[in-house]
Amino acid sequence: MKETAIKQAPIKQAPIKQALLIAGATGLVGKAVLKAALADPNTDHVYALLRRPLDIEDAKFTPWISDDLTPPELSANDIAPTVGVIALGTTIKKAGSKANLRRIDVDLVVNTATHMQTLGVKHLIIVSCLGANSKAMSHYLRCKGEMEQAVEALGVERVTFLHPGPLAGDREEHRQDEKWLQATMKWVKPLMVGRLKNYLPIEANTVAKAVMAQIQTAHAASVERLDSIAMTALAMTALADGQSD
């Protein structure tokens, strides 16, 4: 799979009111997206697929608790979600084996995407990673690439894959490798120019802002891939638009 990123300027359109469905809302990126969505005036409602309740009380928030993240059937009074955000993933250390990692990073993500499509979601935004490729030597990168291929095959109207580099922010779990990388990057950051900027840590809040901006951006293709440079640009555009309102 060839890794691509949007290079053209975002195509602005009139704000569209819609409902979001988030899977992975307790993780670093998912939690940031949930917070951003609840604060977004263009988001009518936010659903979250969860294994455990969250301490959130908001009129436009509905948690869906399920051990396997299967959503319930919508009732007549529910606002159908049109956008689905999937921020599910693990590490080989936490998963314990390559097979377990694949069950989460490929099977669970694809199953969740399928459930969202069945509910009527037209735009899927999925957190993948920089270097995702079904033919990669790395098991982790290969799983991400296989996941992307499987999701594309679903035929959802619009799919956006996010390809961040190292993620920065406050996690509930502590990933020592990310901490080490972030500390190292402080010293090498001046050398990271051009496309190398994609390998610099990107804040989860920046990714979340990019997600919300991408939802309101007219799409030039049915499948899009955004790297850290593109996401940072989207987030900055959204910030500038907010300040100019």
First-to-last C-alpha distance (Å) of the chain: 40
Residues 225-242 pLDDT 10s: 999 999 999 999 877 665
**Distant-in-sequence, close-in-space partners of 213: CB < 8 Å, separation ≥ 6:** 10, 234, 235, 237, 238
Residue 170: pLDDT band by 50, 70, 90 thresholds?
confident
Closest CA to 23 of 93, 121, 96, 92: 121
Q: Can you give the pLDDT at residue 2?
A: 44
Residue 168 one-letter amino acid: A
Q: Distance between CA 84 and CA 120 in Å, rounded?
A: 10
> If residue 161 lies in a helix (H) or strand (E), which one and from where to where?
strand 158-163
Please state the φ and ψ torsions of residue 126, each to the nearest 5 degrees: -125, 130
Both tokens of 129, joined, read: 């990673």
- At 51 the three-state DSSP class reads coil
**Domains in the chain, start-ordered, CATH in brackets?**
11-235 (3.40.50.720)
Q: Can you give the pLDDT at residue 190?
A: 62
Both tokens of 157, joined, read: 């109207």
Q: Distance between CA 114 and CA 159 in Å, rounded?
A: 12
Number of residues that make up the chain: 245
- 92 to each of 106, 132, 147, how far by Cα in Å? 13, 15, 16
Q: What is the mean pLDDT of the chain?
A: 87
Q: Is 167 buried (19+), middle (13-18) or exposed (0-12) by CB count in 10 A?
A: buried
- At 147 the three-state DSSP class reads helix
Q: Which stretch of 78-87, 173-182, 222-231 has the lowest confidence by average pLDDT?
A: 173-182
Find the mean pLDDT for residues 212-224. 89
Contact predicate 64/46, CB 8 Å = no
Residue 201: pLDDT band by 50, 70, 90 thresholds?
confident
Residues 30-52 pLDDT 10s: 999 999 999 999 999 999 999 99
